[in-house]
């Protein structure tokens, strides 16, 4: 039986976990034909190019590196190129010189099926737009249709699997040519953007800056949209300091000075504009017309831009892809600061757990099996703490009759009671915190695991066995009818939390037999409360916690002998 200190520790864990409740939904495994279907869908949508009027000159296509502009015309057709890499399928329009109309990730699926698309259709299909101010103070957006390299055929799929692929876009302003180049890499979510406005900057553009704009933010990607929305955020990184948008449309976030990047994130994905060290401005705004998918969900739509001096060629990068720590860290620009690994003292533990899981996954492809191995390893490491906790609890229970006698003897003198109680602990070599302290030392590990399971994209859609098809989501065995849910418990029944509750109850029963009525009530309450609370937690966390409890039960039964835990009682001295 656990003492009050241990119960208090569990209560603290529960209250902290309640501050960040969330839900997950099972993700279907990839279908073999999804990639082909995505390509067919994109080609069908853009088989007929639309015509957009703008002020430019007649386009004469020559060689890929020699595109010239001459002679007046009023319209230029939109052209869409499909880029297929090992990581994504993107449709790139010549609008604004390379706007991304769709960006479908081959390694990640929507819960309802189909590849995850990181571009809002119809909201931010005019992104990567260049804008600047004229010397007269007028803001110009280069959002017209650009000329595409002559070797590009609209609707054609360009496969980027070995070498980098560059696509040139050109247009004209004030009689001078503007060149914009997008570079796609075969094994990276990074797209490099090069812009040259030096021909027109001296006489036409304000020397202060020109900007690259990403409008429309990121779409929701998870089945549980309420949970997904809670992770949406936008950040500005300037001079080594990270600033976060307030989430209020009326309060934009902007600043001048050395700007490393601006970024928008959802639960598992991010879009970031990364400067090459020349950035001198950053801005993030929130669209007041953020979309509402239903009455209770408002989807944040963030717009971001990054500025550069206008008197030199510009090089920047767009990262559009998963919030996978190894990918983000490899960029070398501190973009991993937008990822949540917990408080400062928790972060090293979170990083360590993530490293171990991903390293072991190279050799053991099932994350559920990894969790079983991980549980055994952790149990071996913390065995001395568990043994000490068990022995301390038994010692405290053994001296309860003496403490009860002292309470009766000194019930009218609280100060004397406290003094004599401490003497009693000292005489019998009992540490009143001995049962609680080991549990407190294990709390950071539990917090770190909670963080990893709720936000790490590596576990998104990772199956285990049987009904556990997604370790990042509850292992639902029954879904309540629409609109019905139980407070705290949720709108479904998960099986692993029930196993966890049973294991927790058995473990508590094994801790002692001299429980008072109040202690038994607390034991039943904590078991029931955890069963309710953990019903909506990731099945990976519940699997780990259940295994940990089962191993503790076996440890108490076979490794910690009762004779080792029973203290030798000394008689209560007459005072």
User: Which residue would you say has higher pLDDT here, 557 or 167?
Assistant: 167
Q: What percent of the chain has pLDDT over 70?
A: 76
Report pLDDT for 282: 92
Q: Does the CA dihedral 158-163-164-168 come out positive or negative?
A: negative
- 295 and 367 in a common domain: no
Report pLDDT for 72: 35
**What's the whole-number mean pLDDT along residues 242-268?**
91
pLDDT single digits (tens) 198-218: 777 666 666 667 889 998 889
pLDDT single digits (tens) 462-519: 888 888 888 888 888 888 888 788 887 878 888 988 888 888 888 777 765 445 556 6
Whole-number Å distance between alpha carbons of 145 and 296 = 38
Residue 476, strand partner residues: 494
pLDDT single digits (tens) 353-379: 889 888 888 888 888 888 888 888 877
**Residue 427 is assigned to a structural domain of this protein:** no
**Residue 287 is assigned to a structural domain of this protein:** yes
**Residue 416 is assigned to a structural domain of this protein:** no
Among residues 402, 394, 439, 400, the alpha carbon closest in space to that of 560 is found at 394
**Residue 461 is assigned to a structural domain of this protein:** yes
Report pLDDT for 381: 79
Report pLDDT for 527: 79
Q: Does the CA dihedral 255-171-162-462 come out positive or negative?
A: positive
Alpha carbons within 13 angstroms on the beta-carbon side of residue 385 total: 14
Question: How many CB atoms within 10 Å of residue 466?
Answer: 8
Spatial neighbors of 21 by CB under 8 A, at least 6 apart, are 536
- Is-contact 274 316, C-beta < 8 A? yes
- 502 and 359 in a common domain: yes
- 379 and 275 in a common domain: no
Report pLDDT for 30: 40
**Residue 532 is assigned to a structural domain of this protein:** yes
Whole-number Å distance between alpha carbons of 257 and 278 = 10
- Is-contact 204 132, C-beta < 8 A? no
Q: How many residues does the chain have?
A: 575
Backbone angles phi, psi at 512, to 5 degrees: 175, 165
CATH number of the domain that 65 lies in?
2.70.98
Report the largest interatomic distance among the alpha carbons of the chain, rounded to a whole angstrom: 112
**What's the whole-number mean pLDDT along residues 48-56?**
30
Q: Name the one residue in this structure whose structure tokens are 């790490």.
A: 456
Tokens of 398: 């053994």
- 177 and 311 in a common domain: yes
Q: How confident is the model at residue 51 (pLDDT cuts 50, 70, 90)?
A: very low
Whole-number Å distance between alpha carbons of 121 and 106 = 18
Residue 278 has pLDDT above 80, yes or no: yes
Fill in the DSSP letter of residue 238.
E
- In angstroms, the Cα distances linking 147 to 23, 74, 101, 249 are 46, 14, 17, 36
Q: State which of 339, 362, 386 marks the end of a domain.
A: 339
Q: Does the CA dihedral 509-510-514-519 come out positive or negative?
A: negative
Q: How confident is the model at residue 237 (pLDDT cuts 50, 70, 90)?
A: very high
Report pLDDT for 150: 62
Residue 555 has pLDDT above 90, yes or no: no
Question: How many CB atoms within 10 Å of residue 38?
Answer: 21
Dihedral, CA of residue 457, residue 458, residue 461 and residue 465, to nearest 10? -150
Residue 323 has pLDDT above 80, yes or no: yes
**Residue 95 is assigned to a structural domain of this protein:** no
**Residue 365 is assigned to a structural domain of this protein:** yes
Residue 282, classed as helix, strand or coil, is strand
- In angstroms, the Cα distances linking 543 to 17, 121, 472 are 16, 38, 11
- Is-contact 544 452, C-beta < 8 A? no
- Is-contact 245 286, C-beta < 8 A? yes
Residue 8, classed as helix, strand or coil, is helix
- 280 and 382 in a common domain: no
Domain count, the chain: 2
Among residues 97, 106, 304, the alpha carbon closest in space to that of 193 is found at 97
Report pLDDT for 2: 43
Q: How confident is the model at residue 151 (pLDDT cuts 50, 70, 90)?
A: low
Backbone angles phi, psi at 117, to 5 degrees: -110, 125
Residue 104, classed as helix, strand or coil, is strand
- 331 and 364 in a common domain: no
**What's the whole-number mean pLDDT along residues 137-141?**
83
Q: State which of 293, 319, 339 marks the end of a domain.
A: 339
**Residue 153 is assigned to a structural domain of this protein:** no
**Domain membership of residue 519 as a residue range:** 4-18+351-396+434-564
Listed ranges 44-48, 458-462, 556-560; the one with the highest mean pLDDT: 458-462
- 329 and 277 in a common domain: yes
Q: How confident is the model at residue 314 (pLDDT cuts 50, 70, 90)?
A: confident
- 492 and 377 in a common domain: yes
Report pLDDT for 109: 87
- 321 and 360 in a common domain: no
- 445 and 313 in a common domain: no
Q: What percent of the chain has pLDDT over 90?
A: 20
Residue 200, strand partner residues: none
Residue 74, classed as helix, strand or coil, is strand
- 465 and 359 in a common domain: yes
Q: Does the CA dihedral 171-173-175-178 come out positive or negative?
A: negative
- 364 and 224 in a common domain: no
């Amino acid at each position: 039986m656990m003492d009050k200190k241990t119960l208090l520790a569990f209560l603290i864990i529960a209250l902290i976990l309640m501050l960040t409740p969330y839900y997950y939904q099972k993700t279907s495994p990839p279908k073999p034909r999804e990639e082909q279907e995505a390509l067919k869908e994109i080609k069908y949508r853009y088989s007929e190019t639309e015509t957009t009027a703008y002020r430019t000159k007649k386009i004469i296509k020559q060689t890929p590196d020699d595109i010239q502009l001459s002679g007046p015309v009023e319209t230029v057709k939109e052209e869409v190129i499909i880029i297929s890499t090992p990581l994504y399928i993107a449709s790139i329009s010549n609008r604004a010189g390379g706007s991304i109309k769709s960006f479908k990730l081959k390694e990640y699926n929507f819960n309802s099926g189909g590849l995850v698309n990181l571009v809002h259709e119809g909201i931010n299909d005019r992104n990567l737009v260049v804008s600047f101010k004229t010397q007269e103070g007028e803001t110009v957006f280069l959002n017209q249709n650009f000329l595409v390299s002559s070797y590009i055929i609209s609707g054609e799929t360009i496969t980027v699997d070995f070498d980098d692929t560059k696509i040139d876009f050109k247009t004209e302003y004030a009689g001078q040519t503007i060149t914009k180049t997008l570079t796609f890499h075969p094994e990276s979510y990074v797209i490099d953007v090069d812009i040259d406005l030096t021909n027109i900057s001296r006489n036409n553009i304000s020397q202060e800056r020109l900007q690259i704009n990403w409008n429309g933010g990121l779409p929701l990607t998870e089945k549980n949209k309420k949970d997904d929305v809670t992770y949406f955020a936008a950040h500005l990184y300037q001079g080594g300091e990270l600033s976060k948008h307030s989430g209020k449309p009326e309060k934009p976030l902007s600043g001048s000075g050395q700007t490393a990047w601006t970024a928008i994130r959802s639960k598992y994905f991010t879009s970031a504009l990364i400067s090459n060290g020349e950035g001198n401005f950053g801005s993030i705004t929130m669209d007041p017309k953020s979309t509402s998918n239903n009455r209770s969900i408002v989807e944040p739509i963030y717009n971001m831009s990054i500025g550069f001096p206008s008197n030199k060629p510009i090089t920047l990068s767009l990262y559009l892809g998963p919030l996978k720590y190894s990918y983000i860290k490899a960029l070398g620009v501190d973009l991993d600061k937008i990822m949540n690994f917990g408080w400062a003292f928790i972060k090293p533990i979170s990083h360590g757990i993530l490293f171990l899981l991903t390293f072991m996954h190279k050799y053991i492809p099932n994350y559920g099996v990894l969790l079983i191995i991980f549980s055994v390893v952790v149990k071996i490491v913390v065995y001395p703490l568990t043994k000490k906790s068990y022995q301390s609890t038994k010692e405290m229970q053994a001296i309860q009759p003496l403490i009860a006698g002292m309470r009766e003897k000194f019930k009218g003198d609280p100060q004397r009671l406290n003094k004599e109680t401490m003497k009693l602990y000292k005489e019998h070599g009992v540490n009143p915190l001995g049962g609680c302290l080991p549990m407190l030392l294990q709390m950071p590990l539990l917090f770190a695991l909670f963080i990893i399971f709720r936000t790490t994209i590596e576990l998104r859609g990772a199956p285990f066995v049987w009904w556990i098809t997604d370790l990042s989501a509850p292992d639902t065995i029954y879904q309540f009818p629409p609109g019905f849910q139980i407070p705290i418990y949720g709108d479904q029944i998960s099986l692993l939390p029930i196993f966890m509750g049973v294991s927790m109850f058995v473990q508590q029963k094994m801790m002692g037999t001299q429980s008072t009525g109040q202690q038994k009530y607390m034991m039943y309450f904590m078991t029931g409360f955890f069963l309710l609370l953990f019903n909506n937690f990731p099945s990976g966390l519940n699997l780990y916690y259940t295994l940990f409890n089962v191993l503790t039960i076996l440890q108490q039964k076979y490794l910690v002998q009762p004779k080792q835990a029973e203290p030798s009682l000394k008689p209560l001295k007459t005072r």
